[in-house]
Structure 1
Amino acid sequence: MKYMKLGIKPDTFYTEEAIRSVLSDVPTDLIIHVNNTKYLLHKFPLLLKCGLIQHLCTNIDNETDQPIPIALHDIPGGEEAFELCAKFCYGIGINLSAHNFVAAISAAKFLRMTESVAKGNFIAKLELFFESCILQGWKDSIATLQSIWKLSGWSDDHRIVQPCLDSVIRKILIHPSQVIWSYTYTRPGYTKKKQRKAAPKDWWTEDVSDLDLDLFRSIISTIRSTKKLPAALIGEALHVYACKHLPSPLEIQGQAQCSSARTDDTLNKHRKVLEAIVSMIPSAPGSVSGRFLFRLLKIANYVGASSSVKAELVRRSGRQMDEVTAYDLIIPSTSNPQSPDISIVHAILDNFLLQFRRPMPPEETERMIMSMTKVGRTYDSYLQIIASESSLPVSKFIELAESVPEMAREEHDGLYQAIDTYLKGHPELSKTEKKRLCRMIDCQKLSLEARSNAIANDHLPLRTIVQLLFVEQEKSGVGSSKVAHVITPPNEVSYATVDRDDTRRSRRGPEGGHRYKEPALGPGAEKTRMVPSPSEPKMAKERKKKDQEFGAKYKRK
């Protein structure tokens, strides 16, 4: 960053009893009030350079030898800026940089320190510094833009803002290999000490993210209009700006638990930033990541963004749902930040599935099927997380689970785990509701580990366990070269018995029941059989004895 030094005299300003003055043998004849500070100064050096003070002193009738009082409470930049101008008038050395340039030139224009008042006046020197130093540097232009918004009420700032914006945009659009100035880049794993032929493509994003929202939006809009930078690079700049000016998911969670942290001013500020970022996201697919879109959705619910902004985020998030994890889908509700917003995730899934309703070439079809399978796994993991919500009704849970197409679930392990979690978290469910839940499980699509776990699961209806036992026998291929076992699926009669036993088991509780694995049948046995239940131990023993006798007879033959 560049500096300019003006004046050669030592700094003789001092403070005594809250009054600023200058060491001099000449008595002070001017009292200037700037906000809460009182300055005891001299007319001669100030009248030579400041047209405003000349005018004010001329209009004041002062026939006594008392110092003339002047109030300059509305001077831009306050005491610091006024003191720079006063020291320039006294010839005291001052250092100018991009950090104090705006305050200095604003105060100098306010005091009318022009060439018509004195040759080589302060404004002319400041403008020379602006043209030759600030506009030529990268961080100088950024720092000037940052400081200009700290001064309110100064209407002439467009003469500074636009040239700085043009300088910044011009540097952003050049090739990274031509970047020779310093910039801020704190990405993990990046070190500037390494020999690099060119700067990173996103070298400018961190410095630009320090700017006020209006300035940032102006830069991004101009860059997009040139169409010289890829959409992903624009998206990266938006991501960096959001990380710096919007709360993180952890901050949202913490502030949701503390209502005092959610002030109206803070929420309004965050809402304004969020809506601006959403409006600047390029339309090109993949310009921002799916996880970033879901993060914006969480913030949108937290700050109470407009319905149109939420709808746009839902639409974009749906197109990139295959890029996120189950925890990205946990979006706090607007009304109750402690509970997940289930409806918005359902809407995102609907938008994801809309992509499959349009015709697509074979290569894209294969890619989309892979995406759907990934979304199916992610969605089942999401169901496992929300299944423990006590306020989630069984009808809504079933609706959510059935919203995923069957082709998205290559296996039902995730769905089974979600249903198991729901059953454990809602012990008050009726037998009918449990059956409705478990009817969604395709036992054929459960892995061996999941089937083994489900067979021993006391929370599942007995009907489901019977189906699992049948599938287990079928997949294990029970049989031998001498005995051909006939495996038959349970029929309606056996299901009626199972339902009756299931009712009795539910009365005794999950710990009071016993399960019996149905023995394999020989060739001569009946194909229609009733599954032994805890209520029929005697019948089970007799049937087992007959099967053993039949097997022995078959061996003798």
Structure 2
Amino acid sequence: MKLEAFLSSCILEGWKDSILTLQNTEKVYEWSENLGIVRRCIESIVDKILTLQQRPGYGKKRHQSSVPKDWWTEDVSFLDIDIFRCIIAAVKSTNMLRPQLIGEALHVYASRWLPEITENRPNESSTSQEQDSPGRKKKILETTVGLIPADKGSVSIKFLLRLLRITNFLAVSPVTRAELLRLSGLQLEEATLSDLLLPARSPNDHDQTSTDIDLVTMVLESFLRQWRRQTPADESQLLISIQKVGKLIDSYLQVVAKDANMPVQKVASLAETLPGIARPSTMISTWQLTFISRYGAAS
């Protein structure tokens, strides 16, 4: 059969050809799927991800160690979310790649199609109005979360928090939101202060003066629920963990306490959520001094 011969000799042998073919089948997806083109291309791509040490045509003169292991993540990020899901699910099922590499592929894909999670948003979007629709973004977000490997640290806490933030604007399912809260709480101790300083308003609102303290409070509550359920052999690790989070939250409180637009009740609520064991020192903290100077006279 001519189609089979063409696929085998011209399309499936090449990496870029398989990618381009899948991109072009989006407009005639049902026809392409019935002919087996989609399945064959996906299988070819998955096989190359698992077996090739570098991107075809990357440059044979370069030393092997200089080739990044995530060479394939950028190319597959151009594909439709359903095709991308099939590729990642197939790769995950083999257990041949590190979870962090799967996580990197998810990060690259989400950053391309959900510019709200990136710090430097492009001035002009290359996607069509349909591709940029809230419904499509919701599907991409929910699919991305569903593909995150179970291994702790497969994606960064910064990535998780940014995904969690935009759930407020995309009306994602409660299951997706709950999973992001769980994962964010699980990795909260890995966060930095800058990771927590996320704007509270919609990405389309340019007046982003306050940070999303509600999100931080929810993630802290998630962390505490999971922390209290732990039963490690060495209890000192539990103490180290919660005191690390306590130091992080106090640093965050020091920043938000200076925000004139931040309701005092929210600052107090976050401060009270943190248990006393998280603060090893009985000395008054900097954020408390700021808090007292701002609101003490009014109380």
Shorter-chain-normalised TM-score: which range? Answer: 0.7 to 0.9
Q: For residue 23 of structure 2, what is the amino acid of its counterpart? A: Q
- Report the CA distance between 1:193 and its aligned residue: 5.7
Which of the residues 281, 287, 299 maps onto 1:418? 287
- Report the CA distance between 1:350 and its aligned residue: 1.6
Which of the residues 5, 15, 23 maps onto 1:146? 23
- Report the CA distance between 1:136 and its aligned residue: 0.9
- Report the CA distance between 1:314 and its aligned residue: 0.9
Matching residue of 1:493: none
Counterpart check, 1:348 vs 2:214: no
Counterpart check, 1:316 vs 2:183: yes
Are the equivalent residues in 2 in contact too, given 1:387–1:418 (CA < 8 A)? yes
- Report the CA distance between 1:305 and its aligned residue: 2.7
Matching residue of 1:181: 56
Are the equivalent residues in 1 in contact too, given 2:185–2:226 (CA < 8 A)? no
By relative contact order (CA 8 Å, sep 6+), the higher-ranking structure is 2
Q: 1:180 to 1:271 in 2, by over 3 A?
A: closer
Greater helix share, 1 or 2?
2
Are the equivalent residues in 2 in contact too, given 1:252–1:299 (CA < 8 A)? no
Q: For residue 417 of structure 1, what is the amino acid of its counterpart? A: T
Q: Distance in 1 between matches of 2:265 and 2:33?
A: 61
Which of the residues 76, 80, 89 maps onto 1:212? 80
- Report the CA distance between 1:409 and its aligned residue: 2.1
Are the equivalent residues in 2 in contact too, given 1:209–1:216 (CA < 8 A)? yes
Q: Distance in 2 between matches of 1:302 and 1:193?
A: 47
Larger radius of gyration: 1
Q: 1:253 to 1:416 in 2, by over 3 A?
A: farther
- Report the CA distance between 1:231 and its aligned residue: 2.1
Q: Distance in 1 between matches of 2:40 and 2:131?
A: 35
Counterpart check, 1:155 vs 2:23: no
Query: Does the residue aligned with 1:229 lie in a helix, a strand or coil?
Result: coil
Task: Give me the TM-score of the superposition, normalised by structure 2.
Answer: 0.82
Q: 1:211 to 1:264 in 2, by over 3 A?
A: closer
- Report the CA distance between 1:324 and its aligned residue: 1.0
Query: Does the residue aligned with 1:155 lie in a helix, a strand or coil?
Result: helix
Query: Does the residue aligned with 2:64 lie in a helix, a strand or coil?
Result: coil
Counterpart check, 1:374 vs 2:249: no
**Alpha-carbon displacement from aligned partner over 1:114-158 (angstroms, at most 9, x marks no partner):** xxxxxxxxx93x653322121111111111112222x34762444
Q: 1:359 to 1:328 in 2, by over 3 A?
A: closer
Unaligned runs of at least 5 residues, structure 2: none
Are the equivalent residues in 2 in contact too, given 1:139–1:182 (CA < 8 A)? no
Query: Does the residue aligned with 1:210 lie in a helix, a strand or coil?
Result: coil
Are the equivalent residues in 2 in contact too, given 1:301–1:334 (CA < 8 A)? no
Are the equivalent residues in 1 in contact too, given 2:185–2:223 (CA < 8 A)? yes
Q: For residue 191 of structure 2, what is the amino acid of its counterpart? A: V
Q: For residue 229 of structure 2, what is the amino acid of its counterpart? A: R
Q: Distance in 2 between matches of 1:153 and 1:218?
A: 14
Q: Distance in 2 between matches of 1:425 and 1:263?
A: 47
Matching residue of 1:277: 144
Matching residue of 1:225: 93
Aligned CA-pair RMSD: 3.3
Unaligned runs of at least 5 residues, structure 1: 1-122, 184-190, 256-261, 434-557
Query: Which aligned pairs between 1:530-541 and structure 2 lie closer than 5 A?
Result: none
Q: For residue 24 of structure 2, what is the amino acid of its counterpart? A: S
Query: Which aligned pairs between 1:40-79 and structure 2 lie closer than 5 A?
Result: none
Query: Does the residue aligned with 2:31 lie in a helix, a strand or coil?
Result: coil
Q: 1:195 to 1:263 in 2, by over 3 A?
A: closer
Q: 1:366 to 1:192 in 2, by over 3 A?
A: farther
**Alpha-carbon displacement from aligned partner over 1:234-274 (angstroms, at most 9, x marks no partner):** 2121111112221134467999xxxxxx9995332222211
Matching residue of 1:203: 71
Are the equivalent residues in 1 in contact too, given 2:46–2:87 (CA < 8 A)? yes
- Report the CA distance between 1:279 and its aligned residue: 1.0
Compare 126-135 and 373-382 and name the one that shifted more: 126-135
Are the equivalent residues in 1 in contact too, given 2:200–2:211 (CA < 8 A)? yes
Are the equivalent residues in 2 in contact too, given 1:205–1:237 (CA < 8 A)? yes
- Report the CA distance between 1:181 and its aligned residue: 2.2
Q: Distance in 1 between matches of 2:293 and 2:57?
A: 59
Q: 1:148 to 1:426 in 2, by over 3 A?
A: same
Are the equivalent residues in 2 in contact too, given 1:384–1:418 (CA < 8 A)? yes
Greater strand share, 1 or 2?
1
Task: Give me the TM-score of the superposition, normalised by structure 1.
Answer: 0.46
Q: 1:306 to 1:367 in 2, by over 3 A?
A: same
Which of the residues 6, 11, 14 maps onto 1:137? 14
Q: For residue 282 of structure 1, what is the amino acid of its counterpart? A: P
- Report the CA distance between 1:426 and its aligned residue: 4.3
Query: Does the residue aligned with 2:133 lie in a helix, a strand or coil?
Result: helix
Are the equivalent residues in 2 in contact too, given 1:252–1:302 (CA < 8 A)? no
Which of the residues 31, 49, 52 maps onto 1:172? 49
Q: Distance in 2 between matches of 1:133 and 1:359?
A: 55
Are the equivalent residues in 2 in contact too, given 1:138–1:182 (CA < 8 A)? no
